[in-house]
Structure 1
Amino acid sequence: MVIRVFLASSSGSTAIKKKQQDVVAFLEALKVEYDPLDIACNEENRMWMRENVPEEKKPANGIPLPPQIFNEESYCGDYETFFDAKEDNSVYAFLGLAPPPGSKETVSVGQYSERL
């Protein structure tokens, strides 16, 4: 399974840049393999991301902002849901991955576990 993180390499928004950096740094700290996909320089990536974010997760204007996180084709969430999972020590469940042995996270019945 490959975690796909849709990012914008040339965002003018400091908030978006910080959110992207937070997601990437956290995945790297956990040694989770991920594929960064740039939506600023690649129209295919941008269109795929926009088409595959569920309607109920899109903002009022209909255009989801990066970072958006997927496990292969399955939508995991945006920065806010990632942040919530991080705070709850449930990032692996959020990503649809089994937690490594000895991690603080255990597989439990919860809001993210349906993807396990």
Structure 2
Amino acid sequence: MVLDSKKIEYERCDIASSEDDKKKMRELMGDAKALPPQLFNGDQYLGEYTAFEAAVENGELEKFLKLE
């Protein structure tokens, strides 16, 4: 909802339905046991959901998403 309200385009990826997507997420993170939700900008790992929430609360969403 936050991204929609700020008109930030994004792609939602359900790794439960794609073993390839789960493997890619874990490879990009460098953590073979990582669990969702995780956020990326392209292939750049940004952080997990609590870091996203903190960025929203602190008014640093664009910085967190590397949109600046």
| Residue matched to 2:27 | 51
Unpaired stretches in structure 2, ≥5 consecutive residues: none
- What is the match of residue 55 of structure 2? 85
Displacement of 1:87 = 1.0
> 2:64, 2:41 → 1: CA distance?
9
CA distance in 2 between counterparts of 1:54 and 1:96 reads 20
* Structure with the higher fraction of residues in helix conformation: 2
TM-score scaled by length of structure 1: 0.55
Q: Which has the higher contact order (CA 8 A, sep 6+)?
A: 1
Q: Tell me which residue corresponds to 1:39.
A: 15
Q: Distance in 2 between matches of 1:41 and 1:54?
A: 21
| Superposed displacement of residue 54, structure 1 | 4.1
Deviation, structure 1 residue 44: 0.8
Question: Residue type matched to 2:56 in 1?
Answer: K
How many positions carry a matched residue from both structures? 68
> Which letter maps to 1:74?
Q
- Identical amino acids, percent of aligned pairs: 38
Structure 1 segments (4+ residues) deviating >4 Å: none
1:53 deviation in Å? 1.2
5+ residue gaps, structure 1 = 1-24, 56-61, 99-116
TM-score (norm 2): 0.89
Distance 1:72 1:52 in 2: 10
Task: Give the root-mean-square deviation of aligned CA atoms.
Answer: 1.3
